[in-house]
Structure 1
Amino acid sequence: MDRTFGSLVQAAVGVILLAWASGMVACWAWAIGRLWSGRPLLGGRPNAFPRPAPWGFLSVVAVCLLYVLVGNSIRYLHEQGVGSPRAPVPVPAPGPGGAEEGPPAAGAEAPGPVPLNGPEAPAGEALAGMGLLVQLAVISILMVLLVPPLLRLTSGATWSDLGLVLEDPARQAGTGVVAALLATPVVLAIQALAVHIWLNHKHPVEEVLMAGLTPASAAVAVLSTMALAPLVEELLFRGVLQRWLIGVASVEGPVPEDEATIHPQVDRTGPPCPDPSAADRQGGPEAGPVARGDEGPCPPPALTIASPARPTPSASGSWQHVGLGIVLTSIAFASLHLPQWPAPIAIFVLSMALGVVYQRTGSLLTVVAMHGTFNGFSTFVMLYQSLVSRSP
């Protein structure tokens, strides 16, 4: 990267990060003011989800299998197109006179790979990183295009069932940005504490930005982390998994027999009896008892014990069920990032916040904007660090 261009990009990224930090301070001042006045931070939308998630276990399994199929297919096509990655060939170290030394003597240890201490990584490593980012981007696009039709075919799900509503999209996205600016300092503080306890393992995006920074790799990294990854991850985890888990947690088992005996329910679903007083007014006292077909006089309503086998869950569920669904979803979401330990600790907290915001607003766009804003700040921080490390 040209030094002048790199300096300009570094200055621009620094200004963006400064604006981001100013937004966090402003949002926290606003939040403290609302809490001080007793007003809620997040107003829930009435009837956020008009019905429970129509998809079940088999639909969730089908989505998981689709993700595995798409991921493996894209990786296979990429390997067929560019070939399998090869190990770098060690370059012999120059001798004292500048000429290359011969092979090591018997019993001597072979030289290891040359460390990447220069300002730029080898072209092969940079291309491999770009290939990984492109693969992830293609997988994300295909999943976003294929998952909604799959749920439509398997369960009759609509866009509103996933939280995709076109009502005031600017407000939905703005709510997500504000929520991200509030959550980012907390999540980053937890991550900073965790890396002081455990050894930090870098994310693939961080490795790409640190290994071979180019305008193309920076653009693909920003696009992937701020748009594509949040869109597919929120669709799968909040839109599909969390809604299904909350629905499962909201369904209670059959009422125990002893409990049903103690608390019987009256079943008055039989045919209605005519009003005797109305018959008396029409036919007088001599009309006799009111008949009900061939059964004679109407008997008093009988008490029958109603014990529903499996009640239908509500669209939103109680907060105990909602909390359980959010926690389970966050555990699954954080577990996918285990290779970047200890990042899953902070990611679990972020996922909890995303789950609460999604459940309160019923908007997938809100959590996509929230997730993308958080990822964007982290990506720009890594980009700035990479630019600073390469500055003269």
Structure 2
Amino acid sequence: MDDLTANIATVIVGIVALCITGWTMIAVRLYQRQPPLAFDPRREAPWGLWDLLLVLALAFGPSLAVGVYFQPLLGSANPSSEALKELLRWNSFVSVISIFGMITYFQFRPQASLQDVGLNLRGLGHQFGVGIACFMLVAPVVFAIQAMFVLLLKFESKHPLIELLQDDPSAFYVCAFLAVVVAPISEELVFRGFLQGWLERLPLFRADMDSFLLGRRQTSEEDDLLYCETNRDTRRVALMPIIISSTVFALMHFSHGPDPIPLFFLALALGFVYQRTHRLLPCIIVHACLNGTTMLLLWLSLDELGK
């Protein structure tokens, strides 16, 4: 075992130890009837179903269009690695455009702001700390679930990026950019910020159909305070948006072998963090660190194969 592999193994052991310590602390807090994470209320999400559908089109439409365009080149049994890399480059480009499109839409939408989604610069240090702590708590659990399916039940992960890298390791940097930067930002915006944010208002919803479809156009400060207090006191309702958004998130990865199952548990953790903090940065950090760890392990395995 070389020094790099030994150092990584030491880091993994340290993360597992911190994970066990963290879950023990959470168990103690729950036993003392204290929440694992402080609740930060938010005002009611001002967007409606129409806005959500438009966001989904902005998020996934360009990537689907690129996939359709490249389909004739990829339709053969063994598409060339150059065609696959070109697809990845275009997919990266349009995904970045999609992210800016979603952010711009809600920045300029009437009665909405990026703070409503969870993009808030206040308390960046705390948000970063929550993200790192959550990663250390969740990552060993997610990887353990995935390992159980892969090693014990013989279900292989079939992520297209992994399959591409096994055939052509030169595409590693493009794949890493997609997995560690683009996917966490885009998916957390859609599934936690927009979808779960919209779902959180539904159990307390008392408006007409126009407001349901188009969102609330005007709210008073008293309305926002009332919503925050009602949302704070309605503990049972908080699970529904988390479970629904997590299920949709997992189903979006249905073609990746057993991955939807560990990803569902990851999404539950991300949904809980978002529901408590109403900040996207911690969720993005967890998602990026998890994907980054996967890419690092994949790079090490490819490096071993190349020796």
TM-score class normalised by the smaller sequence: 0.7 to 0.9
Structure 2 counterpart of 1:197, one-letter code: L
Cα distance between partner residues in 1 of 2:299 and 2:287: 18
Runs of 5+ in structure 1 lacking a partner? 1-6, 89-112, 114-123, 255-310
Per the alignment, residue 336 of structure 1 pairs with 252
Q: Tell me which stretches of 4 or more aligned residues in structure 1 moved more than 6 Å.
A: none
Rounded Cα–Cα distance in structure 1 between residues aligned with 2:177 and 2:35: 30
| Cα distance change of structure 1 residues 73 and 362 upon mapping to structure 2, 3 Å threshold | same
Q: Is the 8 A contact 2:22 2:137 kept in 1?
A: no
1:364, distance to aligned residue in structure 2 (A): 0.5
1:1-392 → structure 2 map (5 Å cutoff): 12=4, 15-16=7-8, 18-33=10-25, 35-36=27-28, 42-47=36-41, 49=42, 51-75=43-67, 79=70, 84-85=73-74, 87=76, 125-195=80-150, 196-197=152-153, 199-214=155-170, 217-251=171-205, 314-315=227-228, 316=231, 318-391=234-307
More helix by share: 2
Which residue identity lines up with residue 208 of structure 1 in the other structure? L
Q: CA deviation at 1:326?
A: 0.6
TM-score, normalization: structure 1? 0.65
Report if the CA contact (8 A) 2:59-2:95 is conserved.
Answer: no
Separation in 2, partners of 1:85, 1:331? 30
Q: For residue 259 of structure 1, what is the aligned residue in structure 2? A: none
Pairwise CA distance, 1:203: 0.4
CA distance in structure 2 between the partners assigned to 1:229 and 1:374 by the alignment: 11
User: 1:135: Cα distance to partner?
Assistant: 3.3
Q: Report SS of the residue matched to 2:303.
A: helix
Let me know the Cα RMSD of the aligned residues.
Answer: 3.1
2-structure distance, mates of 1:15, 1:234: 31
Q: Given the superposition, is the C-alpha separation of residues 331 and 28 from structure 1 closer, same or farther in structure 2, using an over 3 Å criterion?
A: same
Residues 292-342 of structure 1: per-residue CA shift (max 9 Å, x gap): xxxxxxxxxxxxxxxxxxx99824462322200110001110111000121
* Deviation for aligned residue 1:184: 1.1
Letter of the 2:300 counterpart: Y
Separation of aligned partners in 2, 1:382 and 1:162: 33
Closer, same or farther: CA 325–20 of 1 in aligned 2, 3 Å: same
- Structure 1 range deviating more: 130-139 or 369-378: 130-139
Give the aligned residue type for 2:54.
Answer: A
Provide closer, same or farther for how the CA distance between residues 14 and 244 of structure 1 changes in structure 2, counting only shifts above 3 A.
farther
Report the AA paired with residue 375 of structure 1: N
The Cα offsets for residues 74-123 of structure 1, whole Å up to 9 and x where unpaired, read as 4466x49xx834747xxxxxxxxxxxxxxxxxxxxxxxx8xxxxxxxxxx
Measure the CA separation in 1 of the matches of 2:63 and 2:183: 14
Q: How many residues align?
A: 286
Name the amino acid aligned to 1:46. D
Q: Does the 8 A contact of 1:173 with 1:366 survive in 2? A: yes
Distance of aligned partners of 1:41 and 1:23 in 2 relative to their CA distance in 1, 3 Å threshold: farther
1:357 counterpart letter in structure 2: V
Deviations along 1:53-76, one digit per CA (max 9) or x if unpaired, are 100011011112223432244446
Contact 1:181 1:374 in 2 (8 A): no
Larger radius of gyration: 1
Q: Deviations over 1:223-246 (max 9, x none)?
A: 221221101100010000001011
Q: Distance in 1 between matches of 2:4 and 2:85?
A: 23
